Structure 1
């Protein structure tokens, strides 16, 4: 079998993508130059999303990090990293009513999938692996690995993560998966072929390649700047950086945010966003987990068809970009992993990685039974 390069392009978006090696006009990817996302990938309109708005976790994101009150950052850091389950039973009941368990509604989800190809998208931290204090020790269990492997045997399966692609691969060690690291800025297809894939090319997409020297430079500066703050950890995820504050005392959060901002003021082409107990530095290109989901569906041959059911499972605010894409497509489901009410565009919920594993196992059982009929 010989691989060939296939170019995917769109005049409206102003860039071209090539399977095997993707080439981009990076200047056209900056937000001020980019129109709305590719309409061919948007699909049907769908209904208006059901969004829980209490408590309201304000999204705090900026491309220009100079100025602004540090207190606002600390408030946002606190809101984006809840540590306690809500004690309001009425709030919980209302939220669960609008975002029911994917396990309790499993048959409903499977009924919608009839006649469609399921494609699975999975976040890593907090979804497949429990959140741990040391991000270098976020290992998955052997049982979870086996569940993912079984799912990938029946359905195209991708792990979409803010982590470096190579690091997540070392955690998972499954060559039959798609891996989208650095929030989708580093995508590679399976080393092993997949029978559900409509083409034979290995996907490689790196829309932020020109930022690598800058990311490396900022990484070294942040290591030096944050070493005086106990518990702070800077992680190089190749096309983005993560500043973890899970082990930092809350009284030090303002100082940490100030140090990060002081570095980024000299790098206007980088932006600062937030996740669960982490500050994330990314290139200011219009690319996120939602774009990664669209790119992978197009690479699989499902860009302009309704004969596909994408299912995305994730726990973080960065996964909301993918949930929004599924809402816009009008088919497919987002599943939020959370024990507490959160503002979300997901349709269903699971409480923790153990429930994610149960869902994956039920999916395999359902597929196996359907093949026997």
Structure 2
């Protein structure tokens, strides 16, 4: 999913929603990032714990390929480019830092260790918050579509499934157990899906129907 994302190398101290907003530049949209702890609609910016960020950078600087990213509300330690034999050592370094900060917790995503506040909040709760805030909780006129490629997106998929409202779409080339209703293989298929969705909406909201075919949970559009 990061293949189509804006470059973030020079935006280490900027909220993730601001980065995405600057890339998309659509003021009418709501943007949610950092596992739902950063929701722009608009919202106020908050300062992240720069001290922890600096310590993590210092602790991991000798691990080749490791990168620490600040998304304002969360910290991410990426190990996609780290030699697999060094993964365990890197994780231990990160955990050693968090031992001094009991109010922070660590979770693992796709080749990334994510550090965030120890609160009962995730992408599923963020999705519920957005729907409720917009008055779409029990609306029949809105069809939420949540697209994600990470294990942390499962919380949002589960919310839509339990509410029987909208659909979740997992982006993965590998078949896996998921709470999502459908899957797409990669960001290019996501882009194609969104283009066709817009095209369908432009043609007509009444006389044309959008068909999806469930083929081993593979989402296809005519």
RMSD: 2.3
**Tell me, which stretches of 5 or more residues in structure 2 are unaligned?**
208-222
1:350 Cα offset (Å): 0.6
Secondary structure of 1:308's counterpart equals coil
- Scaled by the length of structure 2, what TM-score is found? 0.83
**Deviation string for 1:208-244 (max 9, x for gaps)?**
x6xx45x322111101111111111100111110000
1:205 Cα offset (Å): 7.5
Aligned to 2:125: 291
**Deviation string for 1:223-267 (max 9, x for gaps)?**
111111111110011111000001111111111011001000111
Secondary structure of 1:136's counterpart equals coil
**Equivalent-residue separation in structure 2 for 1:287 and 1:344 (angstroms):** 20
Aligned to 1:365: 199
1:129 Cα offset (Å): 4.1
2:26 is the counterpart of 1:174? yes
Contact 2:8–2:19 (8 Å) recurs in 1: no
**Deviation string for 1:328-352 (max 9, x for gaps)?**
1112110111110122100101111
- Scaled by the length of structure 1, what TM-score is found? 0.51
Match of 2:9 among 136, 150, 165: 136
Pairs within 5 Å for 1:49-64? none
Higher gyration radius (CA):
1
| RCO higher in structure (CA 8 A, sep ≥6) | 1
**Equivalent-residue separation in structure 2 for 1:358 and 1:334 (angstroms):** 16
Pairs within 5 Å for 1:88-99? none
Contact 1:320–1:344 (8 Å) recurs in 2: yes
Secondary structure of 1:309's counterpart equals coil
2:108 is the counterpart of 1:256? no
1:372 Cα offset (Å): 7.9
Aligned to 2:110: 276
**Equivalent-residue separation in structure 1 for 2:40 and 2:139 (angstroms):** 23
**Equivalent-residue separation in structure 2 for 1:262 and 1:245 (angstroms):** 17
